[in-house]
Amino acid sequence: MYSIELGLVRLDFRTAIIKVPRNGDYDSMNEDWIDTEQEIELVQAAQSATVFCSTGRFAQKEPHLVEILFPHLFAEKEVAAHLLSKSDMSGSPENMMRDAVKTDHYSWGRLISMDWGSMGYAPGGVEYCLLPIDGPAISTGFLRLDWPSVQIHASS
């Protein structure tokens, strides 16, 4: 189990996950992808952590900053607006933007994700924000965690 101290909360999770081609062929036409655990190393700072990944490609492998968003966001619409504001979406159909943001529900709160590939960005990738039940939004960037294993605890 990994733990990241974020000042107001502690984020615990079992592992990070990436999708890889079943046959090892990273061809964009390959449709046979599977989830696998990703090897990571955490570097804890005062109220954030940088996660380094030794496997994956493109956005999966980049250093990922895990931090509470500032200003603090407490509503799903605010987090979605934050994600959508990160790029020039002018001229994009409203339904394309709406479809790029997805919300999933977990015991700890909501996971709000932005699929940059669906917006036409290459190589794309999915950016994640966690919205705990009783806390501010947390960005994990493009780092995909084992979401069901996530636990969020108030810091003492």
* E-assigned strand segments in 77-124: 101-106, 109-115
pTM score: 0.84
Exposed (0-12), middle (13-18) or buried (19+): which is 105, by Cβ within 10 Å?
A: exposed
Residue-averaged pLDDT of the chain? 83
C-alpha torsion angle, residues 56, 58, 97, 89 (rounded to 10): 170
pLDDT at 98: 67
Q: Which residues pair with 2 in a beta bridge?
A: 13
Q: What average pLDDT does range 96-124 have in this prediction?
A: 83
User: Where does the pLDDT of residue 96 fall: very low under 50, low under 70, confident under 90, or very high at 90 and above?
Assistant: low
Q: Residue by residue, what is the 3-state secondary structure of 41-56?
A: EEEECCCEEEEEECCC
Does the pLDDT of residue 153 top 80, yes or no? yes
The predicted pLDDT at position 49 comes to 95
Give percent helix, percent strand, percent coil of the chain, each to the nearest 5: 15, 40, 40
The model's pLDDT over 21-65, given as tens digits with 9 standing for 90+, comes to 566 666 666 676 667 788 889 999 999 999 987 766 555 667 889
- Give percent above pLDDT 70 in the chain: 73
Please compute the mean of the pLDDT values over residues 138-144 and round it to a whole number.
94
Q: Hey, CA dihedral for 51, 57, 59, 62, is it positive or negative?
A: positive
Q: Which of 49, 54, 66 is nearest to 18 (CA)?
A: 54
